[in-house]
Amino acid sequence: MAIGGGDDDRLVVSFGEMLIDFVPTESGVSLADAPGFIKAPGGAPANVAIAVARLGGRAAFMGKLGDDEFGRMLAAILRENGVSDAGVTFDAGARTALAFVTLRSDGEREFMFYRNPSADMLLTPAELDLDLIRRAKVFHCGSISLITDPCRSAHLKALEVAKEAGVLLSYDPNLRLPLWPSAEEAKEQILSIWDYADVIKVSDVELEFLTGIDSVEDEVALTLWRPTLKLLLVTLGEKGCKYYTKDFHGAVDAYTVKQIDTTGAGDAFVGALLCKLVDDMSVLQDEKKLRHVLRFANACGGITTTKKGAIPALPSLAEALAFAEKQ
């Protein structure tokens, strides 16, 4: 799917991995005890792209898939959800990544990954669509693409090109410790691109991991602040989120929902934020506007936890507005 020229000023390009999650048909059981699995498309950067498109924004996904049935299926899912796959390449020699996800009884998840190596890890700098990156208003990425070369080199090249072109850089580390060689390596690499980013979103769990302190107090969060940042966000699940800019900081409450599955909630939050940012960058300097946007992002994250899976649960604009009005 190509991207029309007229909407490039609203384009969000999301870079990284897209994979198949195998989700147990029964919650609260171990992988070994699960009676069966349903395949669900996943991968945080792909979820963010679809979240943006579902809310009426313009999105493209950039990454590598296996030239296999799963890879072709994922590219089709992007297109069906209104996301451009112009930045997608296929690898004939490697499979699309798979992840088996355990849903605990509290709705939280555990992961077991199959990627040795998977196609997403093999994206090279030469395969990047640099023109697509330069045309973006926002370039969004995670940290899984930093784990191994050649994908790490492709990721760094994409960041440099985006930065040179004046594109706003959004970063959600999306920590998946089982994929890293060690916790130390994960922390080092996640922080290695910190200074590139304009907007960073971390969860409370990631905040503790990166700082070594089990607290979400402002002084802890602010150890992750850099002068290069425009906005730092800490998401707190059912407790909402905290925000920090150079001029102001505060907290925005979450909506109360009946949580079934937290998969994709953070991606829905980020997608909602980016969707609003491309339309009005002054949100980053105006606290009243920012609080309004974060309330909307919290609504989108909340809705996503009320349904199983990530992509099927991501809300449309109409759903998000109706939900927010009812609260």
Q: Active-site residue numbers? A: 267
Which of 204, 327, 211, 187 minimizes the C-alpha distance to 266?
204
Give the residue from 228, 216, 232, 224 showing the smallest Cα distance to 187: 224
Are 197 and 190 contacting, i.e. CB atoms less than 8 angstroms apart? Answer: no
Q: Is 224 helix (H, G, I), strand (E, B) or coil?
A: helix
Neighbouring residues of 325: CB distance < 8 A, sequence distance ≥ 6: none
Q: 150: cis peptide before it, omega within 30°?
A: yes
CB 233 within 8 A of CB 199: yes
How many residues make up the chain in this entry?
A: 327
Sign of CA dihedral 7, 43, 192, 149: negative
What residue has token string 């290069």? 228
**Cis omega before residue 125 (within 30°)?**
no
Cβ partners under 8 Å of residue 268, min gap 6: 47, 51, 297, 300, 301, 303, 304, 313, 314, 315
Give the chain's largest Cα–Cα span: 52
Instruction: Write down the residue that tokens 């919290």 correspond to.
Output: 298
Classified as helix, coil or strand, 207 is helix
Containing 39, the helix (H) or strand (E) segment is strand 37-42
CB 81 within 8 A of CB 50: yes
Structure tokens at 190: 């996640």
φ, ψ of residue 14 to 5 degrees: the values are -110, 125
